[in-house]
């Protein structure tokens, strides 16, 4: 991060703008939204700047720049088309320790102005470090479209009661819980709808309850993190990840997804690799209960979907037994993620009218499944955790009547940039060199739908 993002109190800032063209006008318009004092120096003045100079906040001086113009200034924008002059003003300002920005010349900027979404008092500022302004504009347009304009009401409401809440609740954690409940619940909704009187009454009642120790108990959220691509997270999953005090996560949760967890949340790894359970399942169940009883908001972040080979059912059984509230947030399971990103539809009118999800996990060097029921026409099979047992899976399917040239696909790292897809047939796949190089997590898809991979593959051709 080359540029450190900060917000500067403009109450006592005196800013110099050198130049008075259209670019300078845009900077002045932005500065005029703050209480900063502004001086513009230029021998020629555009109509836009002359109009802005009608504000008592802005002083216009129509002459060439003079070194004395830097006196008593804390910030400088340079917006001229004279490169030598721009360089000279930059050097002088830098020597005096003044923040200087030479517009459209990143190497001569000691600070840069971000792209802004203004919902004052809520302000969102973004920067690309000057390297991708068009992309930044695109992101800002997206944010403008999804952030309601009246979100500023929540900002004003929070400002109004901030000191009162701080006096009533001494703990930073208690205050955070309180405000999250306010903003996420009925109070926040009433504020957005401009029902401020009702919202104020509700806030006071809620604050009294918190202050007397009747704050909400801890809760556990079982959240499906999907197969790996963070873009496949649900909105609800992301929101809960941002609220969590503690995140308990497994091996299949990608680093890109963990980056989206709230920065100050405690992260506890309980992943399981093949033949190596870092934390036994029973201990995970008890850990979730313990953390919730301590008053934490706990997110149990699981790769794929919590209820599809995620042992989520076992975990919430423990929570029910111990009287702990919980919610379940489904995620895109590995089967749908892998098949979609590999261009292999799990069902297709010409190939398969049904699909079975099963586990290929080895136990005592064998896989105990109802093999005859898995071998049927117009059907797709998906095996989770089956890479180690691949030779057994192929052998069992052939022995129970599936033709040996049935197409099969192995998908490693589904939906991620490093995704690999290896295809073959039941009698050849285990011997392929590409197969031997694969590592878990790898999903197995068996059926004639695999033949569509070459035609429909779109992700990493």
Q: What residues contact residue 153 under an 8 Å CB cut-off, 6+ apart?
A: 191, 192, 194, 196
Same domain, 75 and 158: no
Average pLDDT of the segment spanning 160-170:
92
Closest CA to 365 of 402, 326, 333, 395: 395
Domain boundary among 113, 138, 173: 113
Residue 390 domain-assigned (yes or no): yes
For the ranges 41-50, 71-80, 135-144, the lowest mean pLDDT is seen at: 135-144
Same domain, 201 and 95: no
Q: What digits encode the pLDDT tens for the residues 389-401? A: 999 999 999 999 9
- Tell me which H or E stretch contains 277: strand 276-277
Q: Which residue has the higher pLDDT, 187 or 461?
A: 187
Report the pLDDT value the prediction gives residue 61, as an integer from 0 to 100: 97
Q: Which residue has the higher pLDDT, 172 or 79?
A: 79
Average pLDDT of the segment spanning 360-365:
74
Same domain, 346 and 432: yes
Residue 16 domain-assigned (yes or no): yes
Q: 69, 229, 245, 250: which one is catalytic?
A: 250
Same domain, 30 and 107: yes
By three-state DSSP, how is residue 192 classified? helix
Residue 308 and residue 335: Cα distance in Å, rounded?
10
Same domain, 158 and 228: no
Same domain, 77 and 26: yes
By three-state DSSP, how is residue 194 classified? coil
Residue 163's CB is within 10 A of a number of other CB atoms, namely: 9
Is residue 363 flagged as an active site residue? no
The domain spanning residue 412 has which CATH number? 3.30.950.10
Q: How many domains does the chain have?
A: 4
Q: Which residue has the higher pLDDT, 300 or 170?
A: 300
Residue 277 domain-assigned (yes or no): yes
Same domain, 106 and 50: yes
Report the pLDDT value the prediction gives residue 273, as an integer from 0 to 100: 60
Report the pLDDT value the prediction gives residue 361, as an integer from 0 to 100: 80
Same domain, 348 and 283: no
The domain spanning residue 177 has which CATH number? 1.10.8
Share of the chain above pLDDT 70, in %: 97
Name the one residue in this structure whose structure tokens are 């304009």: 149
Is 366 a residue whose pLDDT tops 80? no
- Tell me which H or E stretch contains 52: helix 47-52
Is 364 a residue whose pLDDT tops 70? no
Token code pair at residue 406 = 């049935």
Average pLDDT of the segment spanning 362-371:
80
- pLDDT grade for 407, boundaries at 50, 70 and 90: very high
Q: Which residue has the higher pLDDT, 166 or 183?
A: 166
Residue 190 domain-assigned (yes or no): yes
Domain boundary among 332, 365, 392: 332
Is 305 a residue whose pLDDT tops 90? yes
Planar angle of CA 371, 384, 358, nearest 5 degrees: 35
Residue 122 carries which DSSP code?
E
Report the pLDDT value the prediction gives residue 276, as an integer from 0 to 100: 55
Same domain, 359 and 318: no
Same domain, 69 and 89: yes
Residue 138 domain-assigned (yes or no): no
Residue 416 and residue 435: Cα distance in Å, rounded?
18
Report the pLDDT value the prediction gives residue 210, as an integer from 0 to 100: 86
For the ranges 11-20, 28-37, 89-98, 126-135, the lowest mean pLDDT is seen at: 126-135
The domain spanning residue 281 has which CATH number? 3.40.1010.10
Report the pLDDT value the prediction gives residue 113, as an integer from 0 to 100: 87
Average pLDDT of the segment spanning 222-229:
94
**Cis check: omega of the bond before 28, within 30 degrees of 0:** no
- pLDDT grade for 29, boundaries at 50, 70 and 90: very high
Is residue 33 flagged as an active site residue? no
What single string gives the DSSP state of each residue in 283-347?
HHHHHHHHHHHTT-EEEEEESB-TTSSS-HHHHHHHHHHTT--EEEE----HHHHHHHHHT--S-
Q: What digits encode the pLDDT tens for the residues 113-133? A: 888 888 888 889 998 877 888
Domain boundary among 190, 211, 232: 211
Residue 32: domain span = 10-113
- Mean pLDDT estimate for the chain: 91
Residue 136 domain-assigned (yes or no): no
Residue 233 and residue 261: Cα distance in Å, rounded?
12
Residue 50 domain-assigned (yes or no): yes
Closest CA to 50 of 26, 15, 20: 20
- pLDDT grade for 274, boundaries at 50, 70 and 90: low
Residue 439 domain-assigned (yes or no): yes
Residue 267 and residue 437: Cα distance in Å, rounded?
31
**Cis check: omega of the bond before 295, within 30 degrees of 0:** no
Same domain, 399 and 354: yes
Token code pair at residue 311 = 């042992």
Is 325 a residue whose pLDDT tops 90? no
Report the pLDDT value the prediction gives residue 348, as an integer from 0 to 100: 95
Same domain, 197 and 105: no
Q: 215, 267, 272, 293: which one is catalytic?
A: 272
């Amino acid at each position: 991060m080359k540029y450190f993002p900060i917000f500067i109190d403009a109450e006592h800032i005196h800013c110099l703008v050198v130049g008075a063209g259209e670019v300078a006008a845009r900077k002045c318009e932005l500065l005029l939204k703050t209480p900063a004092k502004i001086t513009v120096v230029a021998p020629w003045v555009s109509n836009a700047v002359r109009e802005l100079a009608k504000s008592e906040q802005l002083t216009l001086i129509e002459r060439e720049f003079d070194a004395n113009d830097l006196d008593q200034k804390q910030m400088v924008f340079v917006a001229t088309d004279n490169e030598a002059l721009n360089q000279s003003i930059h050097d002088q300002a830098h020597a005096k320790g003044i923040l200087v920005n030479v517009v459209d010349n990143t190497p001569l900027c000691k600070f840069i102005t971000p792209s802004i979404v203004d919902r004052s008092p809520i302000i969102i500022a973004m920067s690309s470090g000057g390297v991708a302004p068009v992309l930044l504009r695109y992101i800002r347009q997206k944010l403008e479209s999804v952030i309601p304009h009246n979100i500023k009401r929540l900002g004003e409401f929070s400002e109004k009661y901030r000191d009162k809440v701080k006096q009533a609740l001494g703990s930073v954690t208690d205050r955070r819980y309180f405000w999250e409940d306010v903003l996420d619940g009925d109070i926040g909704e009433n504020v957005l709808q401009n029902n401020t009187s009702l919202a104020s009454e509700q806030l006071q009642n809620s604050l009294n309850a918190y202050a007397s120790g009747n704050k909400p108990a801890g809760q556990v959220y079982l959240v499906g993190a999907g197969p790996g691509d963070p873009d496949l997270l649900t909105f609800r999953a992301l929101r809960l990840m941002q609220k969590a005090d503690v995140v308990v996560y497994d091996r299949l949760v990608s680093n890109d997804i963990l980056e989206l967890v709230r920065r100050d949340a405690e992260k506890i790894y309980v992943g399981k690799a093949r033949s190596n359970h870092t934390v036994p399942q029973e201990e995970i169940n008890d850990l979730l209960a313990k953390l919730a009883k301590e008053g934490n908001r706990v997110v149990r972040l699981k790769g794929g979907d919590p209820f599809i080979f995620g042992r989520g059912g076992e975990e919430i059984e423990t929570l029910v037994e111990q009287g702990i509230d919980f919610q379940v947030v489904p995620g895109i399971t590995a089967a749908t993620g892998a098949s979609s990103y590999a261009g292999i539809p799990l069902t297709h009118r010409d190939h398969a009218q049904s699909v079975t999800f099963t586990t290929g996990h080895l136990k005592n060097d064998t896989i105990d499944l109802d093999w005859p029921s898995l071998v049927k026409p117009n059907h797709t099979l998906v095996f989770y955790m089956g890479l180690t047992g691949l030779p057994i899976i192929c052998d069992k399917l052939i022995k129970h009547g599936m033709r040996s040239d049935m197409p099969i696909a192995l998908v490693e790292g589904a939906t991620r940039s490093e995704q690999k897809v290896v295809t073959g047939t039941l009698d050849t796949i285990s011997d392929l060199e590409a197969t031997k190089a694969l590592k878990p997590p790898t999903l197995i898809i068996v059926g004639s739908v695999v033949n569509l991979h070459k035609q429909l593959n779109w992700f990493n051709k």
